[in-house]
Amino acid sequence: MLVITNEAGERFGVTRDPAGRVVEAIGFDGRRRRFVRDAAGREIETRSPSGRTRKSQYDAAGRLLDLRHTDGSFAHFGYDLLGRLCSVENEHARVELTHDADGLVCVERIDGHEVRSSHDWAGERIELATSLGTRMLISRDSLGRPQRLY
């Protein structure tokens, strides 16, 4: 077990399997979180200290398809033919993503509303416009860091 001690003397630890993947984490509060993995090393179940369990399901390409919690909450992920994330849905909302020719998200649809994005030559978002009328421009420095929003 790898243990880290912070300035207050509290300890955080992780236990790894023979392949080096985390199978248990013990928080600074001493509570344990356990991770179950499939043969490919993907997390398929997480058990929280409170007893809540999250189960994960993947497709044949290894992409996350579903997250299901013991309380009935869920998230479902959809992909297009190129393997890009194109939808996310849970019990509260559905988000649909449209990609441009470069594979960048150019439209996000959320429960009937849209956010449209434009990108520069480096793929950085430089403009955002919503179906509610909000528009934001983003200026960036030579390293691509946002400098100004207007």
Question: Is residue 105 scored above 90 in pLDDT?
Answer: yes
In a domain, 92, yes or no: no
In a domain, 15, yes or no: yes
DSSP character for 47?
A: E
In a domain, 43, yes or no: yes
In a domain, 142, yes or no: no
Residue 75 banded pLDDT, cuts 50, 70, 90 = very high
Instruction: Tally the domains of the chain.
Output: 1
- Nearest-angstrom CA–CA distance, 55 and 109: 27
Residue 1 banded pLDDT, cuts 50, 70, 90 = confident
At residue 37, the pLDDT reads: 94
- Nearest-angstrom CA–CA distance, 96 and 31: 37
In a domain, 100, yes or no: no
Domain region containing 12: 1-50
In a domain, 25, yes or no: yes
In a domain, 91, yes or no: no
In a domain, 9, yes or no: yes
Where helices occur in 60-136 by DSSP H, the ranges are: none
Average confidence score pLDDT of the chain: 95
pLDDT tens column, 23-68:
999 999 889 999 999 999 999 999 999 989 999 999 999 999 999 9
Express as a percent the part of the chain with pLDDT over 70.
100
Question: Is residue 144 scored above 90 in pLDDT?
Answer: no
Cα 27 from chain centre = 22
Question: Average pLDDT in the 118-123 region?
Answer: 93
